[in-house]
A and B are shown apart, each in its own frame.
Chain A
């Protein structure tokens, strides 16, 4: 695995077990995976059982705290950038989105990401973890930003999608899966396989399988292209 992926795995863990950003570097990969899977399983189980709204709020705020404490949490986001991000997403909150249709929200979002670069993703990550977020607007954003930008923001886009794969909202998980399809990097197969195991919604498990199949084809095509 490349450094990039190892760092991604560590990023995932630090979001899930905030107290162990140092541990993440010393534990074996199996311990890391076991820990993150155990937490993810408990999150999804809570979600699947639909225990009570209060539990969902607790879970969300727990995730928020984890994010704020994690080593990858955007601790130093400019307050103006936060305000701009919140305002942007608030404008998207009331929109009824359709596949393949640009809206004022998606246009503004693409412009925002192009202008702010990696900092935009820190602000979006902050917004996703906030109490006031609109799940529909976040989901729409993931569909567009996965597709926008080059290698300079790949790490940030990857980390955001990775985080959102484990979100309590199925709408956000749905878009995160599609985001990995848009990035079309076969290295995402491992993480998708992992979350598929715990995904409680049939349609999302099927979507993950479709995306993994696409990534398999991408991988096979690149093997053929590189063959001497």
Chain B
């Protein structure tokens, strides 16, 4: 099953030692901030088996924000969704400035509060986090503009 990617603030997903105030089966609340849904759906991206599109996905997402900056993400196996009975809709294309990357986009749909907490718990336990550093993203944006993967106007996002 493919890996899925969600951009997050990576520091909210550290596998830090258990907090004394947290019940054994509970999850901290802060990571939920990275799983904000719209119409009960959550945006995710499909990662290629060789993981070669991770940086391109992160670039696509960050270009939709204010400024190029360090960008965190979390990867997780889509098998986790089966266990949680979370449905996916792969027909929802992305709306980033990178048209090719948009094909890797999908939504997790019909999410309830309980499913979201379950997903958070699963991601904290099994997810793999990473950060694409700003300097690398700047280089990726410049390359993307040169290769016409993203429009020239994206240059305004550069520092």
Q: Which residues of A approach B to under 8 Å, CB–CB?
A: 48-50, 52-53, 96-102, 139, 143, 147, 170-171, 174-175, 178, 181-182, 184, 200-204, 206-207, 210-211, 214
Contact = CB atoms under 8 A, between A and B. Distances in A.
Given A170-B11, A200-B17, A207-B131, 15 more contacts: A97-B9, A98-B65, A99-B62, A99-B70, A101-B66, A143-B69, A170-B16, A174-B14, A178-B70, A181-B70, A203-B10, A203-B13, A204-B14, A211-B133, A214-B133
B71 A99 contact: yes
Nearest to A218: B135
A171 B11 contact: yes
Contact of A100 (B14, B15, B19, B69): B69
A208 B72 CA distance: 14
Contact of B62 (A100, A102, A210): A100
Contacts, number: 76
Nearest to A47: B17
B23 to A, nearest CB: 16
A50 B19 contact: yes
Interface string B5-40: 001011101111111100000000000010000000
Given A50-B20, A201-B16, A202-B15, A174 B133 contact: no
A75 B141 CA distance: 44
A14 B57 CA distance: 44
Interface in B63-91: 65-72
A102 B11 contact: no
Contact of B9 (A98, A170, A181): A98
Query: Closest 4 interchain pairs by CB?
Result: A100-B65, A100-B69, A174-B11, A102-B66
A214 B131 CA distance: 13
B134 A182 contact: yes
Nearest to B129: A203
A204 B65 CA distance: 25
Contacts of A178: 70, 131, 133-134
13 contacts: A49-B17, A99-B7, A100-B62, A100-B66, A100-B68, A100-B70, A143-B69, A143-B70, A147-B134, A170-B16, A203-B14, A203-B129, A214-B136
